[in-house]
Chains A and B, each alone.
Chain A
């Protein structure tokens, strides 16, 4: 059985509570759930799995560190963090689901393939 993992992330501003600070939440869902269901606001099919670090502001006065490098540095680090978060899925593991709706469902193995 295949369980494709979907990740979604974007910066957001919790201005009312924490001043001008930014957050970068990371949400996860699975493609086994039909898309019309998780897209409903109250479906709760996108779960919060992490908060990525927000990169520092760009500084044009840093010698030897161009604006382009400053743009890609946080992105490359965040990709490494996401790879680190996904690392446990590279090992097959067992998931056992309790019965629901009178039907017993159990999934023996879940693995990861980068796509």
Chain B
């Protein structure tokens, strides 16, 4: 039978200790990383920033070099929801790839309130001013209706 998916997003958000800026522990660290990323700061400039100690005190920033800064960003991709795998090409072995479960992603796409008025769940035939059939989105073609009816009937 099918797999039941729990509403993990809402459960996490409702917890008081939920860290909105994970993996960073302070707003200062988050803003610093965001600044470096948005300004596309080079690694040498980041190293220079830490070397001249432009941060007078720690301010909750637990990375003091470009290497620890990169490692901190790297932990963002090692969150539990990501799955790590390796694959062997003919000329290169042990290449790493990452992916995450699509069930949760589908749920994340169906859930936002902002998407509600943009969602469609059935075939909708659209026509231009001269009554010619328009095929714009996937839900405007007959494939949608055929597949949906066939899935329900089977």
Residues of A within 8 A of B (CB): 1-5, 16-17, 26, 28-35, 37, 43, 45, 47, 49-56, 59, 62, 65, 69-70, 73-74, 77, 81, 84-86, 88-89, 91-98, 100-101, 103, 105, 107, 109-111, 113, 115
Which among A95, A100, A105 is the interface contact of B103 at CB below 8 angstroms? A95
Residues of B within 8 A of A (CB): 1-5, 7, 10, 37, 40-43, 70, 77, 85, 87, 89-92, 95-103, 105-116, 118-121, 136-139, 143-144, 147-148, 151
B121 touching A2, Cβ below 8 Å: yes
B5 touching A94, Cβ below 8 Å: yes
CA A109 – CA B1 in complex, angstroms?
Answer: 11
Which among A29, A53, A92 is the interface contact of B96 at CB below 8 angstroms? A53
A16 touching B3, Cβ below 8 Å: no
A33 touching B102, Cβ below 8 Å: no
Q: Which residues of A are found within 8 Å of B97, using beta-carbon distances?
A: 50-53, 81
What are 19 of the A-B contact pairs (CB < 8 Å)? A16-B41, A17-B70, A26-B99, A32-B110, A32-B121, A33-B109, A35-B137, A37-B115, A45-B109, A53-B96, A62-B91, A81-B87, A85-B102, A93-B103, A94-B3, A96-B5, A97-B111, A98-B111, A113-B151
Contact A88:B109 (CB < 8 A) given known A53-B97, A93-B3, A111-B151? no
